[in-house]
Amino acid sequence: MRRAGAKRIGVSKLLAAGAGAVLVLLALAQLILPRIAASRISARVGRYGHVRSVSVSAWPAVELLWGHARSVRVSAGALSLAPSQVGALLWEARGAASMQVSAQSVRIGSLRVTRARLQKHARALSAEGTVSEAAAQAALPAGLRVQLLRSRHGQVEVQATGALFGVRASVHAVAQASAGKLVAHPLGFLVEGLKLTLYSDPHVYVEGVGASVAGRSPRSYRLTMRAQLR
């Protein structure tokens, strides 16, 4: 009887010790894994410029081992990316339930955007940023000028003067989402069918864009975009 009782006590101690070890490991994982994930994200985004801070939260933290996180926050200074690199970074972040990215400035291709913000909730994406008139002009082909007319229903209408769509004239054009791409096309019976793709990525399905005047001296615009990660 004594041996059986001692054996049961020994097993209970082993189980308690094992449970304690598991709790310690989980606590360490909760402390260490988010820091490791934040460091990896900082290094990844840091390839394109200056990263100020990154924070990652997950519960339980072991979910990070499978690429899942509750939230990710990134604050950056100046970044410079190609449009395809933007889509690649967003796809890598698909496991984050919520993500917020802010940057002092972002150069995407030839366009420089300041006070840029991007938010992700599940697969829904929203982005906004300010573009000065000088930066917008610098990103356009030589000899082409664009003036904002109005923005509504997820599309932006402008007046373009210069060589556009193979025609040198002053025409009204619309930038809008079409089959997940951001496209522009002139308004008018004879040229309505002409289209120019402004942005396209297999992982980003564009749903709508917007623009408004942000400042008048010097003139600047606030641009917005809604999309889905797929």
47-82: string of b/e by CB count within 10 Å (b at 16+)? ebbebeebebbbeebebbeeeebeebbbebeebebe
**Tokens standing for residue 121:** 């909730």
For the segment 126-138, what is each residue's pLDDT rounded down to a tens digit?
999 999 999 998 8
For the segment 196-224, what is each residue's pLDDT rounded down to a tens digit?
889 999 999 999 999 999 998 889 999 99
Statement: the pTM of the whole predicted model exceeds 0.85:
no
Mean pLDDT across 170-190: 85
- The single residue listed with the structure tokens 């509504």 is 152
Domain ranges of the chain: 1-122, 128-230
Mean pLDDT across 26-49: 77
For the segment 135-157, what is each residue's pLDDT rounded down to a tens digit?
998 888 777 888 999 999 999 99
Tell me phi and psi for residue 162, to 5 degrees: 130, -155
What average pLDDT does the chain have? Answer: 83
Of the candidates 208, 213, 226, which has an alpha carbon nearest to the alpha carbon of residue 132?
A: 213
Is 63 a residue whose pLDDT tops 80? no
